[in-house]
Structures are given as C-alpha cells and as structure tokens.
Amino acid sequence: MIFKISLSALLISSFLFATQDMKKWLRPLEVPQPMDNKLTSERVELGKLLYFDARLSSSEQFSCATCHSPKRGWTDLEPVSKALGAGRGPRNSPTILNAGYQNRQFWDGRVKTLEEQALGPIEADVEMNMPLDELIAKLDKIDGYVKLFNQAYPSEGGITKITLAKAIASFERTVVSTIAPFDKYAMGDKKAISKKAVAGFDLFKGKAHCMDCHDNFNFSNGSFHNIGLNDGELQGKELGRYLTKQRAAWYGAFKTPTLRDVTKSAPYFHDGSVKTLEEATSICSSGGRYANGVKNKSTFMLDRKLSQTEIDKIVSFLKTLEGPDMKLEVPSKFPQ
C-alpha cells in the first residue's frame, strides 16, 4: 500500500513536469468505474480469486488466466486461442492490460463494459464451457466464496451473474500499465530512452502516421479499421466488426490494439499471423499486407515508404513501451 502511494505521488508530481503535449501519453491515474461498481479492496480481491480459479470451468482446468496470463503479457502467446465465439473465426487472445480504459471490448467491440464481457468466456463452450446457473450453484456451495461475495457486495443478493461479473471486472480494472522508460521520457527525463527510440517516436507521430490510430496513453484511440491483412473479399476470413452488424464501415475492421507492453504479447494481430514487431510495423506502414483491392481498407493505411532503418527506429521506440510487470500476488489458495 505504501508502495502504491509513493508511486502515485511520483506520478502526480511528474504530471506537473510533463509538457502539455506530452501529457496525453501518460496514463490517467484513475481508471473509469461504473457508478454501481466502484473499486473497493474486497471487490478486487474477490475478483482476483475468481480470475485465477480453474473451478470456474467445467473441466476445472481453465481459468481466465489460462488465456490472459500475467506471466505472458496477459495473453496466452498462442497465435489463436481456441476461443471461437459464435460464428467467429479463431482469434488471438488480446491482453487485458488497460482494458478498463477501453469503451469497447473484444477485437470487434461487441460489448462495451468489462461487466458485460466477463460472463461470456465462462459459458462459451470453447473457453470454459460452464453454464452460469451451474456455476452459481457450485460457488454457492463454497462457503468461503459466499462470505466474500457478501462482504464485497452486501445486500446485492449474494452470488449472482451480476455480482460475479462485477467482481471479475473490478479485478480487471486494476490490471494497468506501469511506468515504462517511455513514460519517464514523457515526464521530462530525456535520457530515459535512446536517441534511436526518440527518432522512432518522431516517425511514429510523423512520417509513419502510426499515431493516426495508435494515439493517447494506451496507444490506441479505440477506433476500428480494416488494415488490409486479408485480400479483397476476405475469402471466408474474418469479417471483424461487420459480424456484429453489417455496416459497410465495419467490413473486415478490428479494434486498434494497445501497444503498451506489446513486446510481451507476440504473436500479433487478431489472427496471430505476425510473429515480430518488425513485421507488424512493416505491414502497418506499407499500406497493409495487401496493397490493392482490399474492400473497405482504412484511408489511413498508405504506403509511408519507410526504409529498413526507419522501421528499426520505430521498433526500438515500441520496446520502450514495456514497463515492469505490475506488483501482483497470484493466489495460491482458493476459498473452500
């Protein structure tokens, strides 16, 4: 706790030193919280237990952390996870880092809040395959959980879908990025990152136009784009947000992912088809994997004509977005 306070004191004082145009790159200290689910330590602790507890899956083998592990950049490091989600192709499991700041969840943005998001994977047969009614009956028999739910959500009716979702979402809201070398640079410590990385940052904001989409402290403005990973008619490949509603602007469009800690979460893109940051940068700066004939390709996706040296500079900048792992005690004992 003392650690936390001194850290935020450091952040607050540093905020004062960051120049106006650099402030947008620093994570706001307070994560947005819904009125009916403000963060409390009871809620976060309960959510953490649920997040890591494999008893939430029918096989008792999978927890949220199986696919979003803190040891693997909050992902599973697999190209695509087995999580299919009704009618959608297999997708890369995204990091949950800073997910609390997003106003759309999933690659296709099909839900808004972490509360709405949390119950999906538990019931999905390809994920945890656990009908919620059964799960709630199961948790109700674990005295330890009954007690913790009543403490975290007094007079909200004990263990329900709603309190379950609220608790998991509360823990997720505490999974946030730490101070990376780039943040120290943004706060005014000009030596915190190499000259090469500074040059990369300038390209990122300027010539390479990465900032058109990867903007603000989370290096994502939450926007949806078809970046031309697949060719014209997508040939049965993922249609992205178009699957949620057939709006022309959503054809083959996916959410711009955060680039915080991006070094920890390879492989990349919604289909996990890219292994390195060099390749990802090269695709994003050359007008997409398919230059021509892509239906609804974003107008931001143009060939920026970068040299290999320039791509290397951008990659060395992306590496400065890696912060130390957040302090976290992964539970080893679960309520009985």
Partner 1 sequence: MNKFLKFLLASLAISASVNAQNHVIDQSGKTFIPSKITVRVGDTITFKNSDPFAHNAYTDEENNEFDVGMQAPSKETVITIKSADSFNVECAIHPNMLLEVIVK
Cite the active site residues: 127
Q: Is 221 in the site for partner 1 (CB under 8 A)?
A: yes
User: CB-based contacts of 208: which residues, under 8 Å, 6+ apart?
Assistant: 285, 304, 306, 310, 314
| Angle, helices 161-172/114-123, rounded to nearest 10 degrees | 110
Residue 326: partners with Cβ closer than 8 Å, 6 or more residues away: 70, 175, 176, 177, 178
Please tell me whether residue 20 binds partner 1 under the rule CB under 8 A.
Answer: no
Stretch that binds partner 1, among 19-27, 221-229, 232-240, 307-315 (CB under 8 A): 221-229
Q: Residue 254 binds which one of ligand HEC, partner 1, none, with CB within 5 to 8 A depending on kind?
A: ligand HEC
What angle, 0 to 180 degrees and rounded to 10, lies between the N-to-C axes of helices 143-152 and 161-172? 70
The answer to whether residue 103 forms part of the interface with partner 1 (CB under 8 A) is: yes
The closest alpha carbon to 323, from 278, 257, 259, belongs to 259
Confirm or reject binding of residue 187 to ligand HEC (CB under 6 A).
no
Q: Which is nearer to ligand HEC, 181 or 287 (CB)?
A: 287
Question: Which among 23-31, 78-86, 183-191, 243-251 is the span making contact with partner 1, rule CB under 8 A?
Answer: 243-251
> Should residue 249 be labelled a site residue for partner 1 when binding is judged by CB under 8 A?
yes
The helix (run of H) or strand (run of E) holding residue 225 is: strand 224-225
Indicate the DSSP class of residue 304: -
Which is closer to ligand HEC, CB of 23 or CB of 304? Answer: 304
The reply on whether position 23 binds partner 1 by CB under 8 A is: no
Residue 224 contacts residue 248 (beta carbons within 8 Å):
no
* Angle made by CA atoms 139, 83, 223, in degrees to the nearest 5: 110
| Ramachandran class of 28: left when φ > 0, alpha when ψ lies in -120 to 50, beta otherwise | beta
**Which is nearest to 114 in space by CA: 126, 130, 103?**
103
* Partner whose footprint covers residue 299, from partner 1, ligand HEC, none (CB < 5 to 8 Å by kind): partner 1
Q: Determine contact, residues 242/251, Cβ cutoff 8 Å.
A: yes
Distances 95 to 106, 217, 268 between C-alpha atoms, Å:
10, 16, 11
Select from ligand HEC, partner 1, none the partner in contact with residue 229, using the beta carbon and a kind-dependent cut-off of 5 to 8 Å.
ligand HEC
Tell me, residue by residue from 137 to 176, as one string, x for binding to ligand HEC by CB under 6 A and - for no binding: -------------------------------x---x----
By the rule CB under 6 A, 197 interacts with ligand HEC: no
Should residue 248 be labelled a site residue for partner 1 when binding is judged by CB under 8 A?
yes
Pick from 165, 116, 130, 4: nearest CA to 60: 130
195: tokens are 């000259």
What binding mask, one character per residue, do residues 213-252 give for ligand HEC by CB under 6 A, x or -? xx----------x-x-x-----------------------
Q: Kindly list the residues in this chain that would bind partner 1 in the complex (CB under 8 A).
A: 103-104, 109, 212, 221-225, 245, 247-250, 253, 299-300
Q: Kindly list the residues in this chain that would bind ligand HEC in the complex (CB under 6 A).
A: 62, 64, 66-68, 81-83, 85, 88, 91, 93-94, 96, 99, 102, 105-108, 114, 117-118, 121-122, 127-128, 168, 172, 208-210, 212-214, 225, 227, 229, 254, 256-257, 259, 262, 265, 268-270, 277, 280-281, 284-285, 298, 300-301, 314
